[in-house]
């Protein structure tokens, strides 16, 4: 079959790379893709938000399966359009994607179906939000309601920081804000392929959201990830599926908005059990780079089985994988365009492109997060050594990275 991957970042790079390894796949198209994907398949000159053009392309080229990467495209209703034309596509409808595109919507669903999460209130004006804040203790979490590309979340450790976050959020016309209880514990990401009540969970990863070492600085789209996570054993995974993922999927189906695609749960393991931080309606980035390279089962077969409401046992590489993001200086506040990147030809690590371009035969930066470098190891420490050895071989004056991806000190775990 022919497969179309929609998107242009690191997540889409690894999705296309994994699809290209499938015995079921004759050819991979990526729309629009990036320069790092050119040897995996055919780059299609259609921007990801051009839904009608993408649907026309899929019809004309007899695409057997389309896989959607970005949440922004799901929010625009690409799945609705493809399904209307009878095209096979893996991703949630615009309505189901609201579990990510509206934090208030997701919280209401969690409350309705008894999915464990932090206490919260939603506000559409700053005065009421400030009154509520006066009666809360810190730390506390301020979340802007809509799509924020992994940002728009402030963990405030003082009332002054919380008020500043509210003022920034409400400076945007029509913005709503969720003020949420701070959850303390061990954070992890679990992603499952889902179709209604059919669930195939993937192995667990731990993302590193803060921009600097030791979890300092503002939240980002993710600065690196590792998988598997030894602390999250099968018992905890089973509890997460039973208490968080399954009730959410059952509830959405009951409400007439069944979820199909990659469902992502950000979870905190607290002293009182697992609790939901957030839901996303797509594969995480950089979680995709940390998890999918370890999957040995045919990725496309897994998707097709889920679409047919079948389940199967997945086979995994037993090694650890660590993915380190190389980002533009000043990210997440700003990005760089046009800074030359020199990647040695014989790196042992996998290199996935997140924000790059070719200009005058030179690879250059073209975004906030630029590269995701992935290495394996028989231990987590070996995978760390391998990935940082290669990260340091990549030369670019305007790139930086965290030095502690996979370290136990992340996410306040020093005393856990």
Q: Which CATH number goes with the domain that contains 127?
A: 3.30.1490.20
* Integer Cα distance of 416 and 411 in angstroms: 10
The whole-number pLDDT of residue 219 equals 85
Given pLDDT bands bounded at 50, 70 and 90, which one contains residue 149?
low
Using CA atoms, how far apart are residues 154 and 116, in angstroms rounded to an integer? 21
Q: 21-79: per-residue pLDDT in tens? A: 999 999 999 999 999 999 999 999 999 999 999 999 999 999 999 999 999 999 999 99
pLDDT of residue 150: 55
Which of the pair, 414 or 184, is modelled with greater confidence? 184
Question: pLDDT tens digits for 214-223?
Answer: 999 988 989 9
pLDDT computed for residue 148 by the predictor: 61
pLDDT tens-place string over residues 10-22: 999 999 999 999 9
pLDDT in tens, 242-292: 999 999 999 999 999 999 999 999 999 999 999 999 999 999 999 999 999
- Identify the pLDDT of residue 44: 98
Same domain, 216 and 294: yes
For residues 303 and 324, membership in a common domain is answered with: no
Alpha carbon distance 99, 252 (integer Å)? 10
Question: Residue 301: pLDDT above 50?
Answer: yes
Number of domains, the chain: 4
Does 363 map to a domain?
yes
Residue 310 is classified by DSSP as: -
Is 338 contained in some domain? yes
Residues 6+ apart with CB under 8 A from 123: 129, 132, 176, 177, 179
44 and 129 belong to one structural domain: no
If asked whether residues 281 and 236 sit together in one domain, one would say yes
Query: Any idea what DSSP says for residue 184?
Result: -
Regarding whether 271 and 196 lie in a shared domain, the answer is: yes
What is the pairing mode between strands 320-328 and 369-377?
A: antiparallel
Paired residues of 123 in beta bridges: 177
The pLDDT, as a whole number, for residue 411 is 41
Cα 106 to Cα 100: distance, rounded to the nearest angstrom: 7
Domain assignment present for residue 255? The answer is yes
pLDDT over threshold 60, residue 339:
yes
Residue 209 has pLDDT above 60, yes or no: yes
Structure tokens at 354: 């997140």
pLDDT on residue 409: 43
Residue 412 has pLDDT above 90, yes or no: no
Residues 146 and 196 in one domain: no
The predicted pLDDT at position 413 comes to: 41
Q: What is the pLDDT of residue 416?
A: 37
Residue 333 domain-assigned (yes or no): yes
The verdict on residue 327 lying in a domain is yes
Which secondary-structure segment (H or E) carries 266?
A: strand 260-270
Residue 405's alpha-carbon distances to 224, 267, 270, in angstroms, are: 6, 18, 22
214 and 162 inside one domain = no
Q: How far apart are CA 378 and CA 404, in angstroms?
A: 18
Instruction: Mark which of 45, 74, 90 sits at the end of a domain.
Output: 90
What's the average model confidence in pLDDT over 199-209? 96
- In this structure, what CATH number is given to the domain that contains residue 326? 3.90.600.10
DSSP 136: -
Domain of 82, in residue numbers: 2-90
Confidence of residue 174 (pLDDT cuts 50, 70, 90): confident
Q: What is the DSSP code string of 7-68?
A: E-SHHHHHHHHHHHT-TT-SEEEEEE--GGGTTTSEE----TT-HHHHHHHHHHTT-SEEEE
In the predicted model, what is the mean pLDDT of the chain?
Answer: 94
Q: Which residue has the higher pLDDT, 146 or 236?
A: 236
Share of the chain residues as helix, strand and coil, in percent rounded to the nearest 5: 30, 30, 40
Please answer whether residues 101 and 147 qualify as being in contact, where contact means their C-beta atoms are separated by less than 8 angstroms.
yes
Domain assignment present for 84: yes
Mean pLDDT of 189-195: 97
415 domain residue, yes or no: no
Please report which residue ranges of 145-196 form alpha helices under DSSP H. Answer: 159-170
Smallest CA-to-CA distance from 185 within 270, 278, 274, 309 is with 270
Asked whether residue 224 carries a pLDDT value surpassing 50, the answer given is yes
Each residue's pLDDT tens digit, 86-125: 999 999 999 999 999 999 999 999 999 999 999 999 999 9
- CATH code assigned at 69: 3.40.50.20
Q: Give residue 410's pLDDT band: very low, low, confident or very high (50, 70, 90).
A: very low
| Residue 414 clears pLDDT 90, i.e. is over it | no
Alpha-carbon torsion (212, 218, 224, 230), positive or negative: positive
Note the maximum CA span of the chain. Answer: 60
* Averaged pLDDT for residues 143-164: 84
pLDDT computed for residue 153 by the predictor: 86
Burial of 260 (0-12, 13-18, 19+ CB in 10 A): buried
Q: What is the mean pLDDT of residues 291-298?
A: 98
Same domain, 152 and 193: no
CA–CA separation, 205 and 184 (whole Å): 18
Sign of torsion over alpha carbons 85, 89, 94, 96: positive
Question: Could you tell me if 297 and 360 lie in one domain?
Answer: no
Give the separation between CA 85 and CA 30, rounded to whole angstroms: 20
Which pLDDT belongs to residue 320?
98
Burial 280-293 (b: 16+ CB within 10 A, else e): bbbbbbbbbbbbbb
**Band of residue 173 on the pLDDT scale cut at 50, 70, 90:** confident
In this structure, are 248 and 220 located in the same domain?
yes
CA 64, CA 6: separation in Å to the nearest integer? 14
> Predicted confidence band at 175 (pLDDT cuts at 50, 70, 90)?
confident
Regarding whether 338 and 297 lie in a shared domain, the answer is: no
CATH label of the domain that carries residue 244: 3.30.470.20
Is residue 319 within 8 Å of residue 350, measured between CB atoms?
A: no
CA 138-140-142 angle, to 5 degrees, is 145
């Amino acid at each position: 079959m022919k497969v179309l991957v929609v998107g242009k970042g690191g997540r889409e790079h690894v999705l296309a790379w994994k699809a290209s390894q499938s015995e079921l796949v004759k050819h991979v198209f990526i729309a629009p893709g990036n320069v790092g994907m050119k040897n995996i398949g055919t780059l299609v000159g259609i921007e990801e938000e051009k839904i009608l053009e993408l649907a026309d392309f899929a019809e004309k080229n007899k695409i057997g399966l389309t896989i959607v990467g970005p949440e922004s495209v799901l929010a625009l209703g690409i799945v609705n359009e493809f399904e209307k034309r009878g095209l096979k596509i893996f991703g949630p409808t615009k309505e189901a994607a609201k579990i990510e595109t509206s934090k208030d919507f997701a919280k209401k669903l969690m409350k309705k179906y008894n999915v464990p999460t932090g206490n919260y209130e939603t506000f559409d004006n700053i005065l009421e939000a400030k009154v509520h804040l006066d009666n809360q203790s810190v730390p506390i979490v301020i979340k802007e309601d809509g799509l924020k590309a992994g940002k728009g979340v402030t963990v405030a450790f003082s009332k002054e920081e919380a008020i500043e976050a509210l003022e920034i959020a409400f400076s945007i016309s029509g913005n709503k804000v969720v003020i949420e209880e701070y959850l303390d514990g061990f954070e992890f990401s679990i992603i499952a392929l889902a179709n209604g009540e059919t669930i195939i969970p993937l192995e667990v990863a731990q993302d590193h959201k803060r921009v600097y070492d030791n979890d300092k600085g503002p939240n980002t789209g993710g600065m690196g990830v590792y998988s598997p996570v030894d602390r999250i054993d099968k018992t905890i995974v089973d509890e997460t599926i039973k208490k968080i993922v399954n009730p959410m999927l059952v509830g959405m189906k009951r409400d007439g908005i069944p979820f199909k695609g990659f469902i992502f749960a950000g979870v905190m393991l607290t002293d009182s059990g697992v609790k939901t931080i957030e839901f996303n309606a797509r594969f995480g980035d950089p979680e995709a780079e940390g998890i999918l390279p370890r999957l040995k089962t045919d990725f496309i077969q897994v998707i097709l089985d889920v679409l047919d409401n079948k389940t199967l046992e997945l086979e995994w590489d037993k090694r650890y994988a660590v993915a380190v993001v190389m980002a533009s200086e000043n990210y997440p506040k700003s990005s760089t365009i046009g800074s030359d990147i020199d990647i040695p030809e014989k790196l042992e690590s996998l290199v996935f492109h997140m924000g790059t371009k070719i200009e005058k035969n030179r690879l250059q930066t073209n975004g906030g997060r630029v590269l995701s470098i992935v290495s394996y190891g028989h231990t987590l420490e070996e995978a760390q050594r391998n990935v940082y050895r290669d990260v340091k071989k990549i030369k670019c004056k305007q790139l930086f990275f965290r030095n502690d991806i996979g370290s136990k000190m992340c996410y306040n775990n020093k005393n856990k």
